[in-house]
Amino acid sequence: MNIEVKILRNEQSKPAGLLADAEIHFLEGELAGLKLVGFAIWERRDGNGRRVTFPGRPLIVHGDKRSFELLRANGNPSVLNRVRDLVLKAYEEQVPEAVHAVSQ
């Protein structure tokens, strides 16, 4: 399956820490012509790197607000790290100043 990750930079800087949204576009196969939206790239709160959140749906459990992630592994959970790495790599390739900011 051939895919492409599109990065949509957060130009307004709101909410704080949100660097960009990301979409996975399916280019071949049964999912060709579709895209999976809802990924977000965030600056880590401790300022040490970036993190990726997956598409999710908010819900309330016993009064606590939580997020129900829509993309999940159906076996080995480490496969989710491959998706996170793919999104972060696309961000670094499509936002040139991102690489410079991390290396400072």
Domains and CATH numbers, the chain: 3-103 (3.30.1120)
Question: What mean pLDDT is reported for the chain?
Answer: 91
Report pLDDT digits (tens) over 19-66: 999 999 999 999 999 999 999 999 998 878 999 999 999 999 999 999
The pLDDT value given to residue 100:
54
> Nearest 5°: phi and psi at 91?
-60, -45
Distances (CA, A) of 1 to 20, 24, 58, 70, 83: 25, 12, 30, 20, 14
CB half-sphere exposure, 64, CA atoms < 13 A = 5
Q: Is the pTM of this model over 0.75?
A: yes
Q: Please give the Cα distance from 56 to 41 (Å, whole number).
A: 14
Distances (CA, A) of 62 to 44, 46, 50: 27, 29, 30
Q: Please give the Cα distance from 5 to 91 (Å, whole number).
A: 9
Assign 103 a pLDDT band (cuts: 50, 70, 90).
very low
